[in-house]
Amino acid sequence: MMVSKWTFIKPELTFYHLQNVANILEDHYFSVQLLPVVEMINIFGKLVLEDRKIEDLCILRKSRLLHNLGLKTESEALKTLWDNNQYKLTDDEKKLQLEKIKGLKDPLDNLKDKAVAFAYEDEKEPVVLE
């Protein structure tokens, strides 16, 4: 299946509609017909949205569907695959998240002494709207 990131003008809207189709099929107990839709959501999330969480959710959803269809061994195989590859931050992602946290930190905060500076209403100038 060829899926290109640039084919979709509004990828979030496409993902939303794919999820709606999956929910409708699930509500009406069309589990066999839901399997290819879940796989399409997985591929779409991986290639177009580039989101690992969607891939993990699709693996778990597919595992649950297989379990409901009576394919317990295949379901357990997918579950162990997810357990081995579940979402973990890479070193680059850890550094990026640490930098984001440092960027949000207020330099007036002193967490070791448990003294955190709060901006009080008295220190602010009133804003006049006309």
Mean pLDDT for the stretch of residues 48-65: 87
Burial 38-50 (b: 16+ CB within 10 A, else e): bebbbebbeebbe
Which whole-number Å values give the CA distances from 73 to 16, 54, 70, 81, 106, in the listed order?
Answer: 31, 23, 9, 12, 52
Mean pLDDT (the chain, rounded): 81
Residue 35 lies in a domain: yes
State which residues form the domain around 29: 5-88
Residue 107 lies in a domain: no
Q: Residue 121: what pLDDT?
A: 58
Q: Residue 22: what pLDDT?
A: 94
Residue 125 lies in a domain: no
Statement: the pTM of the whole predicted model exceeds 0.85: no
Residue 76 lies in a domain: yes
Segment 14-30, tens digit of pLDDT: 999 999 999 999 999 88
Whether 117 shows a pLDDT value over 70: the answer reads no
